[in-house]
């Protein structure tokens, strides 16, 4: 495995030692908040208390839902990856982009170590001394799609799960959408034309329940998914994908 500079990614052992010794520079930054907003903190505690939903994608979804910035320390293998999300600016700050991380690591074991107030500010902040180098900021859609497609969660996010039909909206206007290829591209194109249930999407070429769930999660967090509970395609949706799973287990 490639050796990374400490300023890039933390080795888990170095990260824990630095935390224990209180050597984190950002934690003592002037003007930095000491606590996350109460509403976000409450949501994160709820997520982490439930082992069925306690994963990185749910945490990112909570930050987006509350429109609150947060510094997320994410553990992957021997390293800790610091990611600061800025939902209002549609950006995230990281020493390495999510796409670069996915090209180097299998992100299936990615997990949250801690969530804290951000140590850096987004570009354009009046607190210029806390704005990092421009190359460290990336469009948040890249983070969303990478974690949704390659992270540990293979089920629908709780907000869009259940009896529902899904359709893509504003795909042409989506900001900084990563390149879509193969089955994912054709699935998004189909969903621009009509609403479909999870079970129906899972039967499309190149799809499965898990892959369809991952694509829907990415679309939802990118603000491109219309979720309808009353659409005719939602009727029998839950039973439909459960029958599909049952057939594949036989």
Domain coordinates in residue numbering, the chain: 10-150, 158-249
What digits encode the pLDDT tens for the residues 101-133?
999 898 998 988 888 888 888 887 776 667 788
Q: What is the pLDDT of the chain when averaged over all its residues?
A: 81
Whole-number Å distance between alpha carbons of 79 and 198: 35
What digits encode the pLDDT tens for the residues 177-215?
778 889 999 999 999 999 999 999 999 999 999 999 999
DSSP 31: T
Report residue 83 as tokens.
Answer: 């990611």
C-alpha closest to that of 171 among 213, 219, 229, 99: 219
Whole-number Å distance between alpha carbons of 93 and 12: 20
For the whole model, what pTM was predicted?
0.82
The CA–CA distances, whole Å, from 208 to 20, 122, 213, 215, 225 equal: 44, 38, 8, 10, 19
Higher pLDDT, 23 or 230: 230
What digits encode the pLDDT tens for the residues 24-38?
544 445 455 556 777
Who's near 74: CB < 8 A, 6+ residues apart?
A: 56, 80, 81, 82, 83, 110, 111, 112, 113
Number of H helices, E strands in the chain: 9, 8
Whole-number Å distance between alpha carbons of 184 and 178: 11
C-alpha closest to that of 70 among 24, 101, 107, 39: 39
Tell how far CA 190 is from the center of its chain: 23
Burial class of residue 51 (count of CB atoms within 10 Å of its CB; 0-12, 13-18, 19+) = exposed
C-alpha closest to that of 185 among 215, 224, 163, 152: 215
């Amino acid at each position: 495995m490639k050796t990374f500079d400490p300023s890039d990614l933390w080795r888990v052992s170095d990260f824990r030692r630095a935390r224990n010794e209180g050597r984190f520079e950002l934690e003592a930054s002037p003007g930095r908040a000491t606590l996350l907003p109460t509403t976000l903190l409450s949501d994160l505690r709820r997520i982490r208390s439930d082992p069925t939903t306690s994963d990185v994608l749910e945490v990112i979804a909570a930050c987006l839902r509350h429109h609150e910035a947060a510094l997320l320390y994410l553990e992957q293998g021997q390293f800790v990856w610091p990611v600061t999300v800025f939902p209002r600016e549609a950006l995230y700050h990281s020493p390495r982009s999510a796409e670069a991380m996915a090209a180097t690591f299998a992100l299936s074991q990615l997990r949250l170590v801690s969530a804290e107030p951000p140590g850096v500010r987004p570009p354009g902040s009046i607190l210029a001394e806390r704005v990092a180098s421009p190359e460290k900021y990336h469009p948040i859609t890249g983070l969303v799609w990478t974690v949704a497609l390659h992270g540990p969660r293979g089920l629908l996010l709780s907000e869009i799960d259940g009896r529902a039909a899904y359709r893509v909206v504003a795909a042409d206007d989506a900001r900084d959408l990563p390149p879509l290829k193969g089955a994912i591209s054709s699935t998004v194109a189909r969903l621009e034309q009509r609403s479909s249930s999870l079970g129906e999407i899972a039967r499309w070429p190149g799809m499965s329940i898990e892959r369809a769930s991952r694509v829907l999660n990415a679309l939802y967090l990118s603000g491109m998914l219309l979720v309808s509970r009353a659409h005719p395609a939602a009727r029998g949706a839950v039973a439909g994908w459960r029958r599909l799973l049952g057939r594949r287990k036989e």
